[in-house]
Amino acid sequence: MTSIFETIKDYLQMNTHNEQKKPLHVGEVMSCWMYLALMDEATIYIQIGLNTTTDDDVIKLLTESLKQCKTQGIRFKEFMKTEGIHLPASSEQRPDSEPNAVPLGTKLIDDEIMNGLSIKTIAAITHCATAASQSIRNDIGTLFTTCMLEKMKFGTSLKDAMRRRGWIKVPPYYYPPGMPKK
């Protein structure tokens, strides 16, 4: 039986160069536009987090995520320009500031920063999976699948750090009626 990793590897190794390039359909265009907007807005959130935290673990994860968002954003901008897709407007980049100079009432705490980053990472993974599954052209499907796998890898290290620090928000446990009590 083929493993999921072999399937993904085969999918990513499909020969996209010989594929006849038909125009993107509106769903593919919208997915690209939304993902680039998500990466741009995540970048702003991460910059704000870097301006308010002094925790070395949080800074390391934010810096790693910022690099990934910028790399993926560049990938999408290049692809979208090549395809003639208008780029979404984005917020202004945040300048560096001194975290200890931010007033406590306006400052996010590390738990909030990491949970916000987790939500943005989950949204990116979900968006990539949906976009890849709806893509007709192999090149765009591969682009989204690659970004999804990169985000999943980062998400694993983020979840491990959040678990170690007790920052994961867990919904109430579900106990079905009639379940034996232990």
Domain with residue 153: its CATH number is 1.20.1260.10
**Residue-wise pLDDT tens digits, 111-153:** 999 999 999 999 999 999 999 999 999 999 999 999 999 999 9
**pLDDT grade, residue 19 (50/70/90)?**
low
Q: Is residue 56 part of a domain?
A: yes
> How far is Cα 42 from Cα 73, in angstroms, rounded to an integer?
10
CA angle 17/19/22 to nearest 5° reads 120
Q: Is residue 36 part of a domain?
A: yes
Exposed e or buried b per residue across 107-124, where buried means at least 16 C-beta atoms within 10 angstroms of its C-beta: bbebeebbbbbbebbeeb
Average pLDDT, the chain: 91
User: Within 10 A of 129 (CB to CB), how many other CB atoms are there?
Assistant: 15
Judge contact between 53 and 59, C-beta under 8 A.
Answer: yes
CA dihedral defined by 70, 71, 72, 78, rounded to 10 degrees? 100
Better-predicted residue by pLDDT, 20 or 89? 89
Q: Is residue 94 part of a domain?
A: no
Question: Number of folded domains in the chain?
Answer: 1
Full domain range(s) for residue 63: 25-88+107-165
Q: Is residue 8 part of a domain?
A: no
**pLDDT grade, residue 50 (50/70/90)?**
very high
Q: Is residue 2 part of a domain?
A: no
Q: What number is the average pLDDT over the span 22-40? A: 96
Q: Is residue 111 part of a domain?
A: yes
